[in-house]
Chains A and B, each alone.
Chain A
Amino acid sequence: MMDLIAALPVVPLQTLLVIPAIAAVVLALVPAYRIGARLNVIASGLTFLAALTLLVHRPPGDSGGYLFVDDLNIVFVVLGTFVGFTTSSFSASYIGHEIEIGRLTPLHLRFYHGMYQALSFAMNLGLLADNIGLMWVAIELATLTTVLMVGIYRTHDALEAAWKYFILGSVGIALALFGTILVYMAARPVIGEGHDAMVWTALVAHAHAFSPELLNVAFVFLMLGYGTKVGLAPLHAWLPDAHAEGPTPISAVLSGLLLNVALYALLRFKMLLAANPLAVAPGPLMVTLGLISLIFAAFMLYLRRDIKRLFAYSSIEHMGIIAFAFGMGGPLANFAGLLHMTMHSLTKSAIFFAVGQITQVKGTQRIADIRGLTESHPVLGWGLVVGVAAIAGLPPLGIFTSEFLLVTSTFARQPLLALPLVFGMVIAFGALLMRLSGIAFGKPSPSITQTHRISVLPLLVHLALVFAAGLWLPGPLVAWFQNVARMLG
C-alpha cells in the first residue's frame, strides 16, 4: 500500500490542492445543479481520500519551502477534509430543497459549488503552507469565498451579515499581515533577507535568536488578527450573523473548518514564541481571551431567539474553551484542546446538518416556532437531542471526555482558573438544555412541507463518531494526539 502511494506520479500533498482547484473551475461551468452537487461530493470525497493517504505515507515538503506536513497539520487536514466531505453530501440534499422553494436559482448554485471547492482549496493551502506569507494569503482567500457564500441569499439580513463579516474579517486579516511582517523583521537579522525568513520550519529553528520585543508586538497583532477569525470575544461580532444568514451547509463549514484553520495559524505562531525564551508567554493572553469568550457566549445563549444564532454562540463558547486549553499548554491540556477541537467540529457540523433540515421543514429559524420535533420528525428530533447533549458536554459523548480532561488538569495546576472555566461550562449547559426541551419535546408545531426527503447519513455518521470517541479512543489516535500535544509545548 505504501509503495503504491509513493509510486503515484503526483504526490498526495499536491493532490490535496489540485483536486479542489480543478473542481472549483469545473463546478463553476457545469450548468445542471444536480450533477454539480454530485461532482461536489465526489471532489470532496477524493480530497478526503488524499488526506487519508498522509496518515500512512508522509510525502516530503516541496523543495521551495512552500508546503510541508507534520503531525500537527495532518490532524487539521484530515479532520477538515472529512467535515468538508460530509457537509458536501448534506449540502446536496439541502440545496435541492432550496431550489424547489425558489430561494436559490441554478445559476447561484454554480457559483456556490465553485466557491465551496475554492474554500476547500484555500483551507488546505493554509494548513499545508510552510511559508507564513502563503498561509496568510490562503486564509484571506478562505475569508473572501465564505463572505460571498454568506451573502448568497441576497436578503437584507444576508447582505448585512456578509458586509459585517467582510469588514471585520478584512480588518482582522490586515492586522494579521502586519504581525506577519513583524515576524519577518524579527527573522531577517538572524536568517538573512528573502524567502527563507518567511519559511516556518526555518523560523522555528532559529526563533531562539529573534528579537523578543518584536516577536511580542507581532504576536499581539497576530492574536488580534487571527483571533477575529477564530471568533474570540470581543472580536466575534461577525460570527453569529454569518452563521445565521448564510446557507446552513456554510454554517457547518464555518464552525467545523474555518474557525479551526484560523486557530491553527495562531498555534503555529504560539509555537514560534514558545521557542524564544525571552519572548512573553503567549499562554495567558489566550487563556484570558478564551475565558472571556466562554463566559460571554454562555450568557448570550440565554438571549437567542434564532436557532442558528444559538449554535453560533455555542461555537464561540467552544472556541473559547479550546483557546483556553491551548493557552494553558502542557501535554494534558494540549491533548484536551486537540480532542475538544475534533469533537466540536464533528458535533457542531452534525447539529447544523440537523438544524438545516429542521428550518427547511418548519420554514422558520425562530426557536419559539419550532416545537415537538421528536414527535413530528423523530430522526431529526432525536438527532438534534443527541447533538445538543454532546455539545453541552453530557457523558458518555466525546466532548464530555475532553472537557473532563481539561477541567481536571486545570484544577491540578491552577485551581483559580478552573473555577471560571467550570462556571462558563455550567451556564452554557443550562442554556442549551433549556432551549432544547422546547424545540424537541411537547406538542409539535406545524410543518410547512410534508414531502421533504431527509438525508440523515452525514448526521448519523458524525454522531456515531462522537459517541464512539466518548466511549473509547483508539490507541494510535491517542498516541498521535499525545505526540502533537508535546510538539505544542
Chain B
Amino acid sequence: MDRFALDAAHMLAGGMVLVSFMLLYQNRMFGLLNVYALHAVVLSLSVAWQAHVQDAPHLWVTATIAVVLKAIVIPVALRRMVIRLGVHRTIETVGGIGPTMLMGIGLVALSMVVMLHAAADADPIAREDLALALSVILLGLLMMVTRHNAVSQIVGFMSLENGLILAATGARGMPLVVEISIAFSVLVAFIVIGVFLFRIRERFDSVDTQAIDDYRGGRE
C-alpha cells in the first residue's frame, strides 16, 4: 500500500510536468485553455491523492477549489473573453517550439538535480513532489517569457501557481492558512488580470503585449 501510494503520487505529479510541456507547444488559444483545464484537473487529482494518503481532510478543500475554479470557471471565463476580444488566432512563440521544448527539458533536469540533492533528508513522497513542483514552476516561467500574448502569459502564470500548490500540498501538514490564501490569491489575481484585459482592450484594441511594448516611442 505504501509503495503504491508513493507511485500514484509520483505519477500524478509527473503528469503535471507532462501537461506543462503540452502547454509549451500549444499554438492555438482554445487549445491552450483546454490544456490548462487539464493541468488543473491533474493538479486536483494529485491534491486529492495527497489528501487521501496524508489523511488530511483540509486538502480536499484545496482539491475542490482547484477543480471548480481552475478547471472550469477560469478557463470558461477566459474562453469567453478570448471570443469577445476576437483573438482566437494562432499565437506565435518566441524562438520556435523546438528550442523552447529543449529549454524545458533542461529546466526539468535542473530542478531534479537541485531538489533531489537539497531535500535528500526529506521523506521520498515530499522530495520528489518538490522536484516535480519546481519543474512545473520553471516551465510556467519559461512559458511566460516565450509568449507575447497577454492571455497566454496569464495561462503561464496560472500553471506556475499550480506548481506552487503542488509543492504546498506535498509538504506534509502545511497549515491551511496558506493554501486558502493561495487559492484566494489566484482569484484576486484573476480579477486583477481581468480588469487589465478590459482596460488593455479599451485602450489598445489588442491584447498583444508586444503592441504595448511597441508604443513606447519617445520615452525612456
Contact = CB atoms under 8 A, between A and B. Distances in A.
A144 B191 CA distance: 11
A305 B134 contact: no
Classify chain B's interface size: 35 or more
Given A185-B122, A217-B118, A159 B173 contact: no
B168 A181 contact: yes
Given A156-B215, A170-B157, A151 B199 contact: yes
Using C-beta atoms within 8 Å of the partner chain, give the interface range for chain A: 35 or more
A181 B164 CA distance: 9
A137 B186 CA distance: 12
Contact of A171 (B157, B172, B173, B199): B157
Contact of B196 (A134, A163, A214): A163
B26 to A, nearest CB: 20
A369 interface: no
B144 A174 contact: no
Interface in B152-171: 153, 157, 160-161, 164, 167-168, 171
A370 B219 CA distance: 16
B126 interface: yes
Contacts of B167: 178, 181
A166 B122 contact: no
B160 A174 contact: yes
A216 B119 CA distance: 11
A134 B176 CA distance: 11
A211 interface: yes
B90 interface: no
A306 interface: yes
A213 B118 contact: yes
A175 B121 CA distance: 22
Given A174-B160, A305-B220, A193 B172 contact: yes
B151 interface: no
A156 B220 CA distance: 14
B171 A184 contact: yes
Contacts of A175: 137
B188 A188 contact: no
B171 A188 contact: yes
Given A133-B175, A181-B167, A160 B161 contact: no
Given A154-B199, A163-B200, 13 more contacts: A134-B177, A151-B196, A154-B202, A156-B203, A157-B219, A160-B215, A166-B192, A166-B196, A170-B157, A177-B164, A177-B168, A188-B171, A198-B174
Interface of A: 131, 133-134, 136-137, 140, 144, 147-148, 151, 154-157, 159-160, 162-163, 166-167, 170-171, 174-175, 177-178, 180-182, 184-185, 188-189, 193-195, 197-198, 211, 213-214, 216-217, 303-306, 309
